[in-house]
Structure 1
Amino acid sequence: MNKNTFHNFPQANKIFQKTLLVSAILGALSATSLQAQESDTNDADDGGIERIFVTASKRQTGLQQTPIAVTVTSGETIEQAKVLDIGDLQVLVPTLRVTPLQRSTNTNFAIRGFGNGTNNTGIEPSVGIFIDGVYRSRAAAQIGDLPRLQQVEVLSGPQSTLFGKNASAGVISVRTEAPSYDFEGKVEAGIGNYNQRQLRGYISNGITDELAFSLSGGINTRDGYTDSLVGLDKINDRDRWNLRGQMLYEPMEDVKFRLIADYSEIDEICCTTAGFENGPTALAIQALGGIVTDDADPFSFESALNASPHDTVEDGGISLQADIDFDDFAFTSITAFRNNESDYINDVDFTSLDILRETAATKIETFTQEFRLTSNGDNKLDWMIGGFYFDEKVTTGDDLIYGDLVRTYFDVLLSFDPATAGILGTLEGLFPALNEGDIFKANTSIVTDFTQQNDAYSFFVNLDYHLTEDFTATLGVSYTKDEKEITVKQQNNDLLSQVDFDADLTVFGATLVQVGFPAAAIGGLKALQFQPQMLELPNPVEANTSDDDKITWSLRGAYTLNKNVNFFATAATGFKATSWNLSRDTRPFASDATAIAANSSLVLPNQGYGTRFASPEKATVYELGIKTSFRNGAFSATIFNQTIEGFQSSIFVGTGFVLSNAGEQNTVGIEFDSIYRPTDNISLTFAGTLLDPEYVSFVNGTDENGPADLSGTTVPGVHEQSIVAGITYDLEFDNGIYGYLRTDYIYESDVRVVGNIPDTVRREVSTFNASAGLNFENGLMLQVYVRNLNNDEYFLTSFPRPIQTGSIQVYPNQPRTFGASIAYEF
């Protein structure tokens, strides 16, 4: 049946049919979901600059007229710049910072310097990631796995009013092309240095006049670029593949269903770290014949690990979007199910000795649903109402295992001080229940398991009132409720963790003093208790649930001066719910100490106190912006003052994560974006951010010396200046061949990398990328590229090396990579 057949029915019958469709969807689904509308991405206007459409406000609007600070990167730009994953996107978007850590998909996103959510599964990101409107609760998305990208929109500032979950710092919205009714496809093969091999492609066609499909997939492999000093595999390889299928069904002209299913796997040896500073414990490693990486050259890309860091990820999901247009309004629904399973093995002492290793596994099951009603047509008052529902179950945990040389390593360390030399053997000899070598025995394990059940929903309304032809006022209000339930369990077989130093020094039924242990050695013994017993949840004293709700709002004014110049002003708030510390360093709050001490069943040796969770984040932003578009160029700029109260800070301290709330983190700044075309063949882009980030209040912070009041200090890891610039030269030949030459540059000013690492560990970025391509009339395409052309060297981040006081490890950036590809499009 032709999709226009229904035009022959009476109008009332059409409305009845569409109402039935809405009713069927509402009956089959039970909550809410989220989607950015589909659009034709770019149309050229009469000014010579492509007119860009965005869905930042969940309506299809021109970028020029959208009163939101949003940066748009087209699929064509991403192809030309050879952006292979979402981490490369920051080369084109200066307000975005992407930091990969520890595992292939463990990535932190920050916008305007605000961002969190890595390494600790309990900490959800402040920057919301959406792919085709589906919220990705954890950072595990590579845009290189998404052929036929339409565009990527980066929305700065809190977006909690329209986006239902964790958008207190901003949103990254990735949109792909829907299936085509015309037969088309593309096959691409590429090679590069480090034995890079890529193969990807897609095919799309109509099955009937109402039904079309597309199928895409890719394989990406590469050898690692970090050599092992002990003969293991190279580190930082690539080994990943993906499949993605879509069905587009349009039974009527104004009814559309889009079904997307995807699956991907990653099986890689990741990630490269290097020694920045080797403390006094390095002498013990070397005394045992071990190797630590050379701190004189952290960019030597050499690894001293005794076991390869191996991680795997299986990620998949399915989503269904329904769009039904009525005369006066449109109905949108998206339902999505996603499943992510990952595990990794890591040598966490970062030396060639078998001292400490870690295995971990995580499973995340997510369901999201949104319904939305949006007014159609030209109205004095445009409106949108909707709701979002989120259900997620997280099962995660890790196993810390003592290696064959852990006891020998600690014995050597203790021998450096005559007062502590041999004390572990002395302790074992004083108790008949212990044998020699029982303390820090090889293969002793500390197994920790966590679960988190998260249910959240929100309702929102957005009103655009056109006071005059040139001025529009927008009011958005959203109510969010977020509930979490946590369990924490641990089996700690470490014998030394059972020694109670904080009470009466009781161990195995007697005190150390009673059995004749030398008092001068007690301090040295206590220093070795790096993994104390953990108080589990639930328990009679502590709550293992959180229940948050918040009303957020946004108020915008947009003024059109003329067809070339638009102004906007914004005041908005954002919200992110409680995040729980799902790491081995999760500890009761000090406020629960009295109640815990009063309950004998809860008292553990050396009970420490810290944080179980971080309270919600509350964001506020004030913005003034301008957007201009002229015949040969366009320019936009936004001045902003953005604050997050209770920013959820997570710091790795060597054995676990300290999770706390910054009282207030503030950034005042300006971001700008521009394009200029001096000729028909040359495009110049220039964009940047200038920031002044500060902890206005952070009493419970952490620096290199431990707990500290960081109030009034500069926020580490946030560059005060970030600039990106690009030049593209379009080529056209008389024989129909066309192509391009492109170079991009990114600069990020010098900054301290991490707050609990000495200020000597700093980062400054000055990187060039380049690419070139030719397209032939017969559909053949050739491309060459080089990333990090000037072999720029900088640190992604840094951390204290576990159980090696004074030693610092860093993540170096990727060295120069280059390659070539050939593609055929039909």
Structure 2
Amino acid sequence: MRDNTLFKFGITFFTGLFAISGLAVAQVDEIIVSAQKRETALVDTPVSVAVITSRDLELTEANDLSELQFSVPSVKFTQNQNALNNTVFIRGFGNGTNNPGIEPSVSIVVDGVSRTRNQSALNDLITIEQVEVIRGPQSTLFGRSSSAGVINIKTKLPEDEFGGKVSLTGGNDSHKKISGTLTGPLSDSTSFRLSASKNERDGYLTNTLTGSDVNNRDRYAIRGQILSDLSDELTMRIIADYDSLDEVCCGIAQINSGLVDGALLQAGILTARPPVGTHSGRFGANFDPSSKAEGRGVSAQFDLDLGSTTFTSITSYRENDFEASADVDFLPADILIESVDYGFETFTQEFQLKSDDSGDVRWLIGGSYLDEDIVNDRSVLFRDTAGIRNVVNTLLAIQGAPNITTVAGLVGTGAIQQVAALPSATQAAAGFANPAVPGTGLFVDANNDPVGAIGALTHPAFAPTLAGIVAGFTGTSVADSWFVAGQGIQGTDFDVNTETLQLYGQLDWDVTENLTIDFSAAYIDDKKTVVSNVSIIDNFSTVPVVLNPATAALTAIQFFPQFPNYPNASEDGVFESSDVTTSTKLIYSLDDNTNLYVSYSTGFKPISVSVSTDPAMYAGQTFDPSRYYAEPEEVTLYEFGIKKQLDNGYINVTAFSQSIENFQSNNFAGTGFNLANAEEQKNIGIELDSMIFFSENFFSTLAVQYIDAEFVEHTFGTCDRTRSGDPTDDCAPGERFRDISGTTPASVPDLSFSLTGNYRFDVSETTDGLFRLEYFHEAEHQATDTVSKAIAPRSVDMINAALNFTNRDNGFSVTLWGRNINDDEFIQTAFNVPGSDAQAAYPAPGAIYGLTVAKEF
């Protein structure tokens, strides 16, 4: 209620302020965007767009895209297990993390080229001209992976006069950054730009077992451009870039301490309980998490002026490599280690022909082709036999189940019962003598000695026969073959090739002087070919305990069930999907500075295929290939907007109803991820973006998003496989999914906003000053679908500030800046700890502040 009141007050107050827009104050430059693949004024663009300028980035010290979320409420980034494992949301829709086979719903475009994976776009931002956040489905013009929206980044062009800028930054946590750009002519028709940055910072978490700082920054990037007029009609722009990252990331914060921790402490496996507290700044891992990445790419854009039309060709090639390792039991016990080696190569080609802006009709047609190869190899291994067995026995005790040895006997009894149920002749043929003697069970053939249930499993005479009955039986003792160091996922070796073809067109028709119709359509065809060579050794996970209600709860400790390789008997490894998307907009101009629009748009994201070994079913269950991929997303958007350009600012208001059918969900279930489709997620909301000068010296911006989000139907919500006792998880043992229809999706606050005040002042005749204060609010909400809000809520109340002095004559500037100067404590996301009944979170950094000195020439 409080947030609703605040929202209503903010809208009323700020809208009322625009009633004084006729005051003779500072003139505001017109904002130009390319949200429709042609340059248009923001007020004339019938799409909901938020714009972040290079000046905004400098004053907020936003080093990468994830830091934009505190200036644009409709955008959200959540940090996960490693430095580049982020989920990007727009309007509460987002996915594409923790599984390279899942494409993101938000497309990141840099200078006209789509970065098909978030990992290739999350390094430091250098020489940025402008960032546009385009909300809602943009599949018609921007293709696949834009079913929720687009983040469109434009970098600064080379210039034909020598110039540049160098900046040095120092701050708390030993923060050091140097960046620079140099531009100038190579000839009368050719110019260049070279930009680079190096960014270092100590971590804000401490690993109590190694003493290391964790969640640090250590990355650099370099980018070169050539811009050339090859003739009066033909222009060429070549861009090459390289970036590298080598960081200790990502640490966690344990929210609570469970029964498992206490039992391990009592057993001597732990010497101390893990540090507890979402913002204690400490956690315990046997070794430091590691993230290493390299990216390189090149693109070539040619623009040919044909008079009344322009032909454009954009060709790109990109490679990215990523390695990570982590202690994924998230306990101070040496139990599990995960290693990831992931890379992709992407080739894209786009052709476009568009008319000029004159006349009553404007049009654009084009086509694009993508060819991408992804290689993903991952291993997760037991590190210590005693450690993992103690964890398992503790989990069994918590559930009232017997220990591993007794479980082995029960499994043996089950195996003998299977044998006893066979016809006598079949038993004899299988190697069992005297199978029909009443009351005496199985006998050893040579001596006719009776053997009990556990003995039947341990007696070598029965090993070959029982191995064929009880999958996982590997020696003279079943219990000794379970949970052994070195077992687990030995390797995955996935190879995914994707080919996507898109054909699109757009038509703008000025029906009258005030009314314009905008129609666009696209055909998208996507084909994925998956080949894998997965190797898993986890003997206990091959036992079909799920088939017996008395043992079904044991699925909680079946960490690594078998995974079907591609191709297999049910799937040839080829997944194809296609769709036609459209967008229809009616734009009515009230005057030269005011436009209303109403639109209906559809979006599409192709099939996603799991290239992680996280299972969809347990041993003994009927194989269902549909659980290993997610059907395409189909998006429907209704939107109404009003855009007003003022002499002293602007105000844009948008109301929308956006739904995604078959929303691709990939949620952590305590020991693995579940890939599934939510039948329908629907978000209804309103957005406001505004800026107003109240005087020549003072201006303010306000960006607001209010959303009512709901899973209209989601019968495949993720169950917690660790049986952690979360009261919202009502699944029976062995179940993987639950019906969460009617609930609010996680990571979607109902209210978020950013408010800034900016005061410009003169220090001297040659020196200007600017003070900027920003407040960002995000209402409390559930951080992740598998941990309740009661256990792991997220809310943000952050204050950022900057004080800048710039000398117009010599180009020197000094900026004192701070992010989260009030040291607000909040989490990014949360999860159930594997092999435990506890929960943990990825905490956000606290206060960051520093001083930047720059020289422009």
User: Same fold by TM-score, threshold 0.5 exceeded?
Assistant: yes
8 Å CA contact retained: 2:525, 2:579: yes
8 Å CA contact retained: 2:546, 2:552: no
- CA drift of 1:411 comes to 4.6
What is aligned with 1:303?
283
Pick from 487, 495, 501 the counterpart of residue 545 of structure 2: 501
- CA drift of 1:286 comes to 1.6
Pick from 614, 629, 634 the counterpart of residue 585 of structure 1: 614
Pick from 728, 739, 745 the counterpart of residue 715 of structure 1: 745
What is aligned with 2:810?
778
Q: Give runs of aligned pairs for residues 12-31 of structure 1, distance below 5 A.
A: none
Pick from 684, 688, 692 the counterpart of residue 704 of structure 2: 688
Q: Matched residues in 1 for 2:196 and 2:401: separation? A: 63
What is aligned with 2:434?
none
Q: Matched residues in 1 for 2:311 and 2:696: separation? A: 41
Q: Which amino acid aligns with 1:423?
A: T
Change (3 A) 1:186 1:547: same
Aligned residues: 751
- CA drift of 1:502 comes to 5.4
8 Å CA contact retained: 1:471, 1:559: yes
> 626-635 or 49-58, which moves further after superposition?
626-635
Q: Matched residues in 1 for 2:565 and 2:46: separation? A: 48
What is aligned with 1:639?
655
User: Quick check: 1:672 aligned with 2:688?
Assistant: yes
- CA drift of 1:188 comes to 1.2
Q: Give runs of aligned pairs for residues 121-136 of structure 1, distance below 5 A.
A: 121-136=100-115
Q: Give runs of aligned pairs for residues 499-538 of structure 1, distance below 5 A.
A: 499-501=543-545, 527-538=556-567
RMSD across aligned C-alpha pairs, in angstroms? Answer: 2.2
What is aligned with 2:848?
817
What is aligned with 2:157?
178
8 Å CA contact retained: 2:650, 2:691: yes
Pick from 629, 650, 659 the counterpart of residue 666 of structure 2: 650
8 Å CA contact retained: 2:120, 2:295: no
Q: Matched residues in 1 for 2:693 and 2:508: separation? A: 34
Q: Which amino acid aligns with 1:406?
A: I
Pick from 162, 183, 203 the counterpart of residue 204 of structure 1: 183
User: Quick check: 1:63 aligned with 2:42?
Assistant: yes
- CA drift of 1:406 comes to 2.1
What is aligned with 1:165?
144
8 Å CA contact retained: 1:91, 1:744: no
Q: Which amino acid aligns with 1:463?
A: L
User: Quick check: 1:802 aligned with 2:834?
Assistant: yes
User: Quick check: 1:267 aligned with 2:243?
Assistant: no
- CA drift of 1:206 comes to 0.4
> 45-54 or 560-569, which moves further after superposition?
45-54
Q: Matched residues in 1 for 2:507 and 2:715: separation? A: 40
Q: Give SS of 2:392's match.
A: helix
- Post-superposition Cα deviations, 1:457-516, rounded to whole Å, max 9, x if no partner, equal 11011000111222211110111101111123321222223434357x9xxxxxxxxxxx
Q: Give SS of 1:692's match.
A: strand
Pick from 450, 465, 470 the counterpart of residue 514 of structure 2: 470
8 Å CA contact retained: 1:411, 1:424: no
Q: Matched residues in 1 for 2:401 and 2:662: separation? A: 47
User: Quick check: 1:551 aligned with 2:580?
Assistant: yes
What is aligned with 1:484?
528
Pick from 402, 406, 416 the counterpart of residue 419 of structure 1: 402
User: Quick check: 1:321 aligned with 2:301?
Assistant: yes
Q: Matched residues in 2 for 1:380 and 1:301: separation? A: 61
- CA drift of 1:451 comes to 1.8
Q: Give SS of 2:828's match.
A: strand
8 Å CA contact retained: 2:546, 2:554: no
What is aligned with 1:510?
none
- CA drift of 1:228 comes to 1.6
> 794-803 or 538-547, which moves further after superposition?
538-547
> 484-493 or 264-273, which moves further after superposition?
484-493
Change (3 A) 1:389 1:247: same
- Post-superposition Cα deviations, 1:258-298, rounded to whole Å, max 9, x if no partner, equal 00000111010111211112222112332224244333x21
Q: Matched residues in 1 for 2:544 and 2:751: separation? A: 50
- Post-superposition Cα deviations, 1:765-806, rounded to whole Å, max 9, x if no partner, equal 1111111111122121111111111111112111111111x2
Pick from 324, 327, 334 the counterpart of residue 347 of structure 1: 327
Identity percentage of aligned residues: 35
User: Quick check: 1:79 aligned with 2:58?
Assistant: yes
What is aligned with 1:744?
774
Q: Which amino acid aligns with 1:202?
A: T
Q: Give SS of 1:51's match.
A: coil
- CA drift of 1:543 comes to 4.1
Q: Give runs of aligned pairs for residues 232-251 of structure 1, distance below 5 A.
A: 232-251=211-230
Q: Which amino acid aligns with 1:772?
A: L
Q: Matched residues in 2 for 1:265 and 1:705: separation? A: 44
> 46-55 or 645-654, which moves further after superposition?
46-55
Q: Matched residues in 1 for 2:675 and 2:557: separation? A: 23
8 Å CA contact retained: 1:130, 1:174: yes
- TM-score between both structures, scaled by the size of structure 1: 0.87
What is aligned with 1:600?
none
User: Quick check: 1:697 aligned with 2:700?
Assistant: no
8 Å CA contact retained: 1:274, 1:293: no
> 267-276 or 445-454, which moves further after superposition?
445-454
Q: Matched residues in 1 for 2:615 and 2:392: separation? A: 25
- Post-superposition Cα deviations, 1:638-672, rounded to whole Å, max 9, x if no partner, equal 11111111111111102221111111111111101
Q: Which amino acid aligns with 2:564?
A: L
User: Quick check: 1:392 aligned with 2:424?
Assistant: no
8 Å CA contact retained: 2:65, 2:125: no
Q: Give SS of 2:119's match.
A: coil
Q: Matched residues in 2 for 1:411 and 1:460: separation? A: 59
8 Å CA contact retained: 2:255, 2:278: yes
Q: Matched residues in 1 for 2:359 and 2:614: separation? A: 55
Q: Matched residues in 2 for 1:179 and 1:46: separation? A: 34
Q: Matched residues in 2 for 1:218 and 1:49: separation? A: 31
Q: Which amino acid aligns with 1:443?
A: G
Q: Which amino acid aligns with 2:559?
A: F
Q: Matched residues in 2 for 1:418 and 1:701: separation? A: 27
8 Å CA contact retained: 2:84, 2:122: no
- CA drift of 1:748 comes to 0.9
Q: Give SS of 1:277's match.
A: coil
What is aligned with 1:18?
none
Q: Matched residues in 1 for 2:252 and 2:819: separation? A: 20
Q: Matched residues in 1 for 2:59 and 2:396: separation? A: 58
Q: Matched residues in 1 for 2:350 and 2:99: separation? A: 28
Q: Give SS of 1:161's match.
A: helix
8 Å CA contact retained: 1:501, 1:606: no
What is aligned with 1:734?
764
8 Å CA contact retained: 2:26, 2:696: no
- CA drift of 1:697 comes to 1.3
Q: Give SS of 1:497's match.
A: helix
Q: Give runs of aligned pairs for residues 402-481 of structure 1, distance below 5 A.
A: 402-404=382-384, 405-411=387-393, 419-420=402-403, 422-423=405-406, 430-431=457-458, 432=460, 433-434=475-476, 437-446=480-489, 447-481=491-525
Q: Matched residues in 2 for 1:612 and 1:442: separation? A: 28
What is aligned with 2:360?
380
Q: Give SS of 1:80's match.
A: helix
Change (3 A) 1:421 1:264: closer
- List gaps (5 residues or longer) in structure 1: 1-44, 506-518, 591-603
> 278-287 or 762-771, which moves further after superposition?
278-287
- Post-superposition Cα deviations, 1:369-391, rounded to whole Å, max 9, x if no partner, equal 11000001411211100001111
Change (3 A) 1:824 1:469: same
Q: Matched residues in 2 for 1:413 and 1:101: separation? A: 26
Q: Matched residues in 1 for 2:692 and 2:401: separation? A: 71
Q: Matched residues in 2 for 1:495 and 1:144: separation? A: 41
